Amino acid sequence: MKLQRLKSSPPFLPFDLVTEILCRLPVKHLLQLRCVCKSWNSLISDDSKFAKKQLRLSTSNHDRLHLNITGMNSLSELLQFDFSISSIFTFASTTLHDPPPLTWLASYDVMVSTCHGILCVGIKGSLPFLYNPSIKKSKTLPSFKTTTEDRAIKTLYTLVYHGFTNKYKIIALTLYLNSKSEVNVHTLGTDYWQKIDDFPFHCHHCAGPGIFVSDTVNWLIYDNCSSSLVIVSLDLNKESYQKLLQPLGTSFSLGALRGCLCIVSHRDKFSDVIIMKEYGNENSWTKLLQVPHMRDIGFIGYKKALYI
């Protein structure tokens, strides 16, 4: 009597466990795994809860944090340089490969805002677009009409994820020569822009795209009337503006650090990194650390604190 050979069945994992494993993988691997089966493709491509969990786990993994440098070359081509944060601190990568010239980084022809690993790129004379470096895909945003005939100096675009509406939004601040600035908002998935009530200041200069903290967009602008730097905050939930007082000193830039609004204030030999511990409470500005100036030839100051 011949013994029948038992057919071995393929290993089985509950789908909940598969989800827990997949959400811990980087995007590059997830894109390849979509072709395994329909259920995996649906989970990776269409499940918003899975996407949020994968993003949360990725951003908590310091080995996956990246520094992205964007600039224009002499041919007006957009260049992108990407470095993992962990590699920057290793001895082998003290010199970054093919770094863009300083003149490209200081160019006002290109402004970049980031959110959840997506870049929002605004180039003077062109429509803004979104670019996801992980999947190498881009999307051009619609144009919007201004309500003034005054010539626009420039428009700064800020990409945010608005938790209240569960939508990505692009906030455009347009500066004019002789008129008050304007703010327009585009919600991703729509084909139009919506104007928000008049911007409360007449300014010619803004330090860069807005900084998103606590459902507010914050700009460091130069107010023409008071001849001083002012932080203007837009509350996306209330669609209202307020002015935030800053600590005494010369602020070089505005940023976000540890979930708080952050500024860099300069002294003769040091720069102070100061955070607003409780958003909206001007008495909660706290000096986080003090950084001595570098003595390298050509050093012109720190722009922002990126990582601690």
**Structural domain for 183, as ranges:** 108-244
Q: Does 132 fall in a domain?
A: yes
Residue 84 falls within a domain, yes or no?
Answer: no
The whole-number pLDDT of residue 251 equals 65
Q: Report the CATH number at residue 139.
A: 2.120.10.80
The answer on 235 and 115 residing in a single domain is yes
Percent of the residues in the chain that have a pLDDT greater than 90, as a whole number:
24
Q: Are residues 198 and 131 in the same domain?
A: yes
Residue position matching structure tokens 């795994």:
33
In this predicted structure, the answer to whether residue 94 has a pLDDT above a threshold of 70 is no
Residue 190 located in a structural domain: yes
Residue 229 and residue 270 in one domain: no
For residues 210-220, average pLDDT: 93
E strands, the chain, in order: 66-72, 78-84, 110-115, 118-123, 129-132, 137-140, 152-162, 167-176, 182-187, 193-196, 203-206, 211-213, 216-223, 228-235, 240-244, 250-257, 260-266, 270-276, 285-292
Mean pLDDT of the chain: 81
Same domain, 218 and 273: no
Evaluate whether residue 65 is within a structural domain.
no
Indicate if 118 and 23 belong to the same structural domain.
no
Same domain, 113 and 239: yes
- pTM, to two decimals: 0.79
In this predicted structure, what is the pLDDT of residue 252? Answer: 73
pLDDT at 120 over 50: yes
The answer, yes or no, to whether residue 112 has pLDDT greater than 90, is no
Amino acid 4: pLDDT: 55
Do 21 and 112 reside in the same domain of the chain? no
125 and 239 both lie in a single domain: yes
Query: Would you state the pLDDT for residue 99?
Result: 43
pLDDT tier for residue 59 given thresholds of 50, 70 and 90: confident
255 and 233 belong to one structural domain: no
What is the per-residue pLDDT for 285? 92
The crossing angle, in degrees rounded to 10, of helices 38-46 and 15-22 is 50
* pLDDT value for 9: 64
| 294 and 235 within one domain | no
Query: What is the number of other CB atoms lying within 10 angstroms of the CB of residue 52?
Result: 14
Q: Which of the pair, 26 or 12, is modelled with greater confidence? A: 26
Domain count, the chain: 3
Q: Is residue 88 part of a domain?
A: no
